[in-house]
Structure formats: C-alpha cells, structure tokens
Amino acid sequence: MKKHKKIRIAIIFGGKSAEHEVSIQSARNIFDALDKDKYEPVLIGINKDCEWVTSSIQQLFSNEQVVLNKNRMNILTEVSGNFKKLDVVFPVLHGPFGEDGTIQGLLKLADVPFVGAGVLGSAIGMDKDVMKRLLRDADLPTNQFLTFKSFERDKISFDKIKQKLGLPFFVKPANLGSSVGITKVHNKQELLPALESAFMYDSKIIVEEYIKGKEIECSVLGNDNPIASICGEVISHHEFYSYEAKYLDKDGAKLSIPASISLEVSKKIQKIAVEAFKILCCEGMARVDFFVTAKNKIIINEINTIPGFTSISMYPKLWEASGISYSKLIDTLIEFAIERYAKEQKLHTSFVN
C-alpha cells in the first residue's frame, strides 16, 4: 500500500435505510474525533436516492457525484476528474444497505480496507432471525422467537404466538436497527397494527418473547483476539427502548456506566459477548445487547456490527469508561481494518500450481 503523509480515510454515511439521520450524527462525531495531523478525512454522503456525493462537515450532501473506480485501485473518482486514492474506509451506514454486508461487499471488490465486520459477519448481524438461530445452536442464551415471511401474514395466529411466547411479546422487522418498526404487543387488537408496521420495513419479521429485566450493553473490539468493555445499562423512561427514547426524546433514556449488576454477572456478560462476536463472524467492532433478569439470568438480545457513534452512543462511551478514548478508539478500529486487509492480501484468489 502506497504511503501518504496522512492516512486518507473516507467516512461513508447516510444511505437509504430508516437510520439515515442516525448515520449522519455518527459521521459528524467520527469526523470531529479524527486527528487531522494524522488523517485526511474524505466525507462521502449517500443520499436517500442512493446517489454517492461529495460532502463537507458544513454541507453534508452536495450535487457532485462520486464513484468507485476499480481500474485505478482504491481510487475514489469525482465526476469533476479529481482523483483521490483511499487508504481506508469507515462505513457508518446503519441498517440495511450499509450494515448488512452490501457496502462491505462493494468495498472488497474495490480492494479497499474498511472498518468493521466483513460481508458474512455484517449480513448475519443484520438479520435477527439468522443471528438468533446461530446463537441458539451455539448454546448461547437467547429468548424464544418465531419468524414469519410477508406471504405468511394471513396465517399468523395471535393465539399460537401467545401459547408459544406468552404476553406481552415484541414484533420486529428482521433486518433493521435503532428500534425502528418495533411494537410491544399486549393483546390481540395490537397484533395487526404491529404486523403492518414491521412489514413496512422488511419482508421477514420476528416475534420475540418479552424478557423482564435490566437492559445491559457490552462493546467488543478486535479481530482475532477481541476484548470486551465494561458493561453499561440502558434505563428507558418509555415502555421500552424505542426509536423515540433513543433519538427524539432527550429524557427518553438514561445510560448508566457501569451497569448496576454484580461483578460476577458483568464478567459472564463480557465472556458471552466475546463468544457471540466470534460465533457471528464479526471483526473490528460490535455492541452486544443483553437482558439480565431479577434472578441474574443472562439473555442475548442482539448484536450491532456498526453501533452508533454519536456523542451519546453507548459503544464509544463504554470504551471511554474502559480506558480507551473516543479518538484512540477510532485509531484502533482503523488499525484493525488495515491489519485485516494486509492479512487478506497474502491469500491466493486463484489456483496455484
């Protein structure tokens, strides 16, 4: 890889998912945290029409389109003819079309190092159905769930769900994040609107058992030898940790670091978080979310392979409390991306006689 005086890093943000605005907040914070003496940031916005455009921190979406040019290896090409060779990419595209392996596959084809999980880990982490099945098959603690496709919606029975999962239960799009499209169902009358909401965002939904307990989150960092942060607790002032509680209501939730759990339970969560990270083929970073019941039973809720990087996001806050500053965390993630890329370059992609 050709060396530059500064490492040129592209921050790709926006996208067409329902988490577009969250992605913009994350990109701003990563940009601000980068050491400008060490890095040359290149902001690339993907608007809701899926157009790649040049950006600045003042004007996030311009009219000048951007394309990846594979013929010039790792080069980002502006339509104006201004070529910029990238050293690494930091995708902060939360949700579908960014966190699900799509952008990761494109970047691998473009032969560019990138931060975070690869194609497989990203796809698994995005699909809650596949994720939970893999965790369950690995004997890691998960809640009970049912999966339905859109063509089956007329056959979804409230009574059968209630018999399997009890009340209340959650209805969620299988592939989305930030609590978008999620409904807590208490009775039969609430099921149809919940299904309509979830199927607005995905053709596959999951219906999950409700777990009463503390909402605990743990950050994981690394490639081959990942480590876990201390645990944090989300105390929601809404009925559950909804999109409104996360992003719209400034008093919607409180983040408590460290979590109000015993040291023994905290260590078990850290161990399970690292195990889940490995089982789900993750790399670089992830945030693993748990429930802890009154009897200290630990349940994995989900994993997020591109966790939020806003000023109030749990992932960077947990590492800061664990002794890694926001800027150092960004440095470390970039180092892991370049390290993985260098390792992959040693692999043969065609038959060697």
Residue ranges of domains in the chain, CATH in brackets:
7-114 (3.40.50.20), 144-209 (3.30.1490.20), 212-343 (3.30.470.20)
User: Is the separation of the CB atoms in 70 and 110 below 8 Å?
Assistant: yes
The model's pLDDT over 292-331, given as tens digits with 9 standing for 90+, comes to 999 999 999 999 999 989 878 899 999 999 999 999 999 9
The model's pLDDT over 15-48, given as tens digits with 9 standing for 90+, comes to 888 788 889 989 999 999 999 999 999 899 998 8
Task: Give percent above pLDDT 90 in the chain.
Answer: 68
User: Is the separation of the CB atoms in 300 and 288 below 8 Å?
Assistant: yes
Write down the mean pLDDT value for the chain.
89
Which residues pair with residue 206 across a beta bridge? Answer: 147, 172
Classify residue 52 by burial, with Cβ atoms within 10 Å: 0-12, 13-18, 19+: middle
Report if pTM > 0.75.
Answer: yes
Tell me the one-letter amino acid at 191: L
Q: What is the pLDDT of residue 59?
A: 76
- Residue 63 φ then ψ, to 5°: -100, 0
Tokens of 197: 């909401």
Q: What is the pLDDT of residue 222?
A: 98
